[in-house]
Amino acid sequence: MSAVIEIDGLRKTFHSVRQGHRVAVDGFDLRVDAGQIHGFLGPNGSGKTTTLRALLGLVRADAGRMSVFGASSPQELPAVAGRVGAIVESPQFFGNFTAHRTLRLLALAGGVPTTRVDEVLEQVGLRDRGDERVKGYSLGMKQRLAVASALLKDPELLILDEPANGLDPAGIREMRDLMRSLSAAGVTVLLSSHILAEIQLICDHVTIISRGRRVAAGRVDEVLAGFDQHEFAVRVADPERAAQLLRAGGLAVTEHDDQLVVGGVDEPELITRTLGEQGIWVRELVPLRPDLESVFLELTGTTPHPTVPRQVDGSVLPDAAPRDAVIDLDVRADETREVQA
């Protein structure tokens, strides 16, 4: 696999007279290989936008090595800039211009044939509204226009910071379909988002950042599998007796309102057989698979507390996380899993 984006040990500290030093990115690594749809996840303020801005030469990094298509960033970026389309946070457009005029100017400035303008407006669903002034656009329409601007040069690499921001459910689905069709056409996509279910649906790979450091990276299914406790939810008519029988059979059982959760189960047949042999018939047996949201909350330590509002910088510092929570599932050369201290 050839790397399209490589970031090693990126560091960025912002300095201000009032706030002092703020470490935004703290030795962060990221690798995106050709053809991936790669999700970039992290709580608010964890360093995603700063990372993308540094990668694209929009902010100067303090340390670290970065490259895009093998060209080191920022020095050699101009050589590959024509192959990269990016939106980093919400770009500002001139409100009095129409979307059509905006894109036309961007196309002319970027040396892109202006015939692309209608194509990208069509692609993002703005064909019929392209002649309206941008100041009359809704948030989601502005977001679509931003994506259209990133698509103008028919990029081989698309970097999108929060592309689903402000989109309605249909818009989110359309964005997902667009990402998939771009990926099928060979475009590599790096996508930051807070909509974790969406990332789980779209992305094949994921990198999770917390307080400027990488806490997990790898294929989405492998990251999730690292958190699979092989649990099953079981519903029966007599849960108390069922729990006794399952425990007697050596299984870990916790009793919830109207169901049992049985852990450490490799073969669900063990549950049905243990209960069935004693005349207890299973009404429902559901595997409890971890989803990206629960893994994200656990890895970043941002699970909401019912009564205490969480502060934006309250996510876990990766070094302080329990050792087994800091996983690195990077599938580089050998496709193996390693555990990082």
Ligand X SMILES: Nc1ncnc2c1ncn2[C@@H]1O[C@H](COP(=O)(O)OP(=O)(O)OP(=O)(O)O)[C@@H](O)[C@H]1O
- Least Cβ distance, residue 321 to ligand X (angstroms): 18
CA distance 262 to 286: 10
Binding residue (CB under 6 A) for ligand X from 30, 36, 49, 146: 49
Between 49 and 102, whose beta carbon lies closer to Mg ion?
49
CB of 293 to ligand X, least distance (A): 15
CA distance 327 to 337: 8
Q: Which stretch binds ligand X (CB under 6 A): 44-52, 69-77, 108-116, 326-334?
A: 44-52
Longest dimension (CA), the chain: 76
CB of 207 to ligand X, least distance (A): 12
Q: From the CB of residue 59, how many other CB atoms can be counted at a distance below 10 Å?
A: 18
Distances (CA, A) of 281 to 11, 138, 277: 58, 54, 9
Shortest reach from residue 45's CB to ligand X, in Å: 4
Residue 21: exposure state from Cβ atoms within 10 A (0-12, 13-18, ≥19): exposed
Does the footprint of Mg ion cover residue 49 (CB under 5 A)? yes
**Residue 197 Cβ vs ligand X, minimum distance, rounded to whole Å:** 17
- Nearest distance from residue 53's CB to Mg ion, in Å? 9
318 preceded by a cis bond (ω within 30 of 0) = no
The smaller minimum CB distance to ligand X, of residues 202 and 280, is found at 202
Phi then psi for residue 215, to 5 deg, are -110, -20
- Check binding of 302 to Mg ion (CB under 5 A): no
Cβ closest to ligand X, residue 44 vs residue 244: 44
Tell me the angle at which helices 139-151 and 115-123 cross, rounded to the nearest 10 degrees.
Answer: 130
Q: Least Å distance between CB 140 and Mg ion?
A: 18
Of 222, 194, 226, residue with least CA distance to 209: 194
123 binds Mg ion (CB under 5 A): no
| Binding flag, residue 27, ligand X (CB under 6 A) | no
Contact flag: residue 213 with ligand X (CB under 6 A): no
Give the strand order in the sheet containing 213-219.
Answer: 84-87, 157-161, 188-192, 37-41, 205-210, 213-219
Q: Which stretch binds ligand X (CB under 6 A): 43-51, 102-110, 129-137, 291-299?
A: 43-51
DSSP 91: -
Considering the complex, state which of residue 45 and residue 290 has its C-beta at the smaller distance from ligand X.
Answer: 45
**CA atoms of 172 and 105, how far apart (whole Å):** 27
46 binds ligand X (CB under 6 A): yes
Helix or strand or coil: residue 168? coil
Out of 30, 31, 42, 134, which residue is the one contacting ligand X (CB under 6 A)?
Answer: 42
Q: Which residues bind ligand X (CB under 6 A)?
A: 14, 16, 22, 24, 42, 44-50
